[in-house]
Amino acid sequence: MTNPKIEFKDVNKIFSGNTKNELILQDINFQIYTNEFVCILGASGSGKSTILGLIAGFIKATSGNVLFNSKDITRPDSSRTLVFQDYALFPWLNILDNVAFGLTTKKHKQNNVREKALEYLTLVGLGNYKNHSVNQLSGGMKQRVAIARALAVDPEVLLLDEPFGALDQQTREAMQTELSRLMTKTKKTVLFVTHSVDEALKLADRILVIGGKPGKILLDYKIDIQKPRDPSNNQLTSVRNILLDKLFQPELFMGADI
């Protein structure tokens, strides 16, 4: 078997507050392999964003190892890019320059930057909007721009933190379909954080359920059902029940602030 692309080995994370230190993640162990689409599913406050922050290199584990291609992650790098729920676009730049932003480092030749940015903007269906400003776009379009920006640097791993959480249901479903298509096409390794069971069921090859206080991996479940999936499929319904059982164990919520 090949080496994992990402590996957590006995990871603990303590955040130090003003009055006390709090253990947020405990004994986290998992591996993610090349080309997998993995969803991290858990309630609000369970530590999902913290896991993505560790992989992105924004925060450090208190103990244990977070590995990328078998090496410890020590800082952010364009091999691992992150898309946030709130788009995080630059309102003073037009759409093309937003996508080009991450490319304006020494790794990329300046004259190729706009060409590359347009290629990715076209990939997400917004080639004709390149000169628009951010505030002329709908939420779904903004998130397409954010995804194009994250993909344009050709990362090995794409990290998405509840990227469709701010969108209305119809746009959200359209974006899920679009992301599935894009990921099949670009063959990225994807870690997608969500608190929606149905979103995870639609997108994931594998689902890691996180919960409890401190947060632990409660279930690591591989879904062997071809995509696109019919939500009323019997097999999917039984997976949904397994996930819901794990997510809503009453003992998990004792003392939890939800």
Ligand X SMILES: Nc1ncnc2c1ncn2[C@@H]1O[C@H](COP(=O)(O)OP(=O)(O)O)[C@@H](O)[C@H]1O
Cβ-based nearer residue to ligand X, 43 or 123: 43
Binding mask 39-78 for Mg ion (x = CB under 5 A): ---------xx-----------------------------
Compute the least distance from the CB of residue 257 to ligand X, in Å: 8
For residue 21, what is the enclosing H or E element? strand 21-32
Compute the least distance from the CB of residue 181 to ligand X, in Å: 26
Cβ-based nearer residue to ligand X, 18 or 135: 18
Cβ-based nearer residue to Mg ion, 49 or 81: 49
Burial 154-190 (b: 16+ CB within 10 A, else e): ebbbbbbbbbbbbbeeebbeebbebbbebbeeeebbb
Cβ-based nearer residue to ligand X, 130 or 216: 216
Binding mask 36-65 for ligand X (x = CB under 6 A): ------x-xxxxxxx---------------
Instruction: Provide the token pair at 204.
Output: 């994931």
Cβ-based nearer residue to ligand X, 88 or 225: 88
Cβ-based nearer residue to ligand X, 50 or 98: 50
Compute the least distance from the CB of residue 61 to ligand X, in Å: 13
Note whether 57 and 74 are within 8 A (CB).
Answer: yes
Q: Which residue is nearest to Mg ion (CB)?
A: 49
CA 145/CA 136 separation, integer angstroms = 12
* Contact partner, 255, from ligand X, Mg ion, none, Cβ < 5-8 Å per class: none
Pairing of the two strands 37-41 and 189-194: parallel
Cβ-based nearer residue to ligand X, 4 or 215: 215
Note whether 109 and 51 are within 8 A (CB).
Answer: no
Compute the least distance from the CB of residue 42 to ligand X, in Å: 5
SS3 state of residue 191: strand
Compute the least distance from the CB of residue 209 to ligand X, in Å: 12
Binding mask 5-24 for ligand X (x = CB under 6 A): ----------x-x------x
For residue 238, what is the enclosing H or E element? helix 234-247
Binding mask 106-145 for ligand X (x = CB under 6 A): ----------------------------------------
For residue 46, what is the enclosing H or E element? none
Burial 78-94 (b: 16+ CB within 10 A, else e): bebbbbbbebebeeeeb
Note whether 90 and 135 are within 8 A (CB).
Answer: no
CA 192/CA 32 separation, integer angstroms = 12
Query: Residues interacting with ligand X, by CB under 6 A?
Result: 15, 17, 24, 42, 44-50
